[in-house]
Structure 1
């Protein structure tokens, strides 16, 4: 099982023991309303179904999902995934973070590590991500991690049953390498297997 370490975080596979914490974190409506596929109200069974679904997708080789844990306290604070498209040189990153941990740079640190993993370990040529137009903080996370704004798709996503605009970001491998050479990505990491 892959585990990644950054200066403050551990990204590790989710376990059954995490279900109650995941449920608690996603019972905050302000978190869920920023996500496209998370139901509201969020219940324990949704976390169980999510864990089953990601395990199946990982077996198929098209998802890699990690929970985000604070190294100092071992507290689970969110999740992040990288979803390579099978047989293609690109993938999609997605993430969420418990509300008590917003604004502390944790997601930028986690996303930077997922970009590193995608480009350096998986050999992807392109990684993209998006956020809803009402969530500019997520766009700042993507930009700080080195991703570039690529445009807005009007009414391209659904949030709690309502259509909304999707703001797209992306990065290609040569931009990643150039940023690493000039030390523009802020977080060092370690990878464990």
Structure 2
């Protein structure tokens, strides 16, 4: 799995390397980014950041998930965030989530939607049937991204000590819808 490299119209998605640690640190220690990510809404400490990064690199070796992939802008070859598919145990079931985090200067530019759509198509091509997104109930912009990609609110539940809204979708239906949209452009 560590060799996954995907592209979309404006983005390149590729695995992190050790050289990317300080970029990741800039995301995990930014209070604006972490507001809806961590269970207490606070940025990670240096120790938590190191643990998170090590766990992330290990995800590249585990089957169905892509792990979080670095998002690189084609325009200026700059890292702008990360996105990927992750396996989570939720309410007693293993589910595949599509998720993304962007550096604040790249918010509201459609990158989250573009990355999530590309990852959902990849998951479908790999034989996955369903996808979810776990979104903090107050994170309205991410809820809009999920809805724009065809996911629907499914339920609210607790995940790792935090209340989350689960948005879900059938990948075959979603990919058919995306294909129709592409053909009408």
TM-score by length of 2: 0.82
How far apart in 2 are the matches of 1:143 and 1:182? 16
Separation (CA, whole Å) in 2 of partners of 1:3 and 1:79:
13
Q: Which residue of 1 aligns with 2:16?
A: 14
- Within a 5 Å distance, the mapping from 1:1-193 to structure 2 comes to 1-36=3-38, 40-65=42-67, 66-84=69-87, 91-120=96-125, 122-153=126-157, 156-157=158-159, 164-183=162-181
CA distance in 2 between counterparts of 1:106 and 1:185 reads 20
Q: Which residue of 2 aligns with 1:191?
A: none
Q: Give how far 1:135 is off.
A: 0.5
2:60 is paired with a residue whose SS is helix
Q: 1:29 to 1:171 in 2, by over 3 A?
A: same
SS of the equivalent of 1:168 reads strand
Runs of 4+ that moved beyond 6 A: 184-187
* RMSD of equivalent CA atoms: 2.9
Unaligned runs of 5+ in 1: 188-193
CA distance in 1, matches of 2:96, 2:183: 19
Matched residue of 1:20: which SS?
helix
2:144 is paired with a residue of what secondary structure? helix
Q: Deviations over 1:78-132 (max 9, x none)?
A: 111212479x995112221111111110100000001000012x11000111211
Contact 1:9 1:70 survives alignment (8 Å) = yes
Q: RCO higher in 1 or 2 (8 Å CA, sep ≥ 6)?
A: 1
Contact 2:65 2:96 in 1 (8 A): no
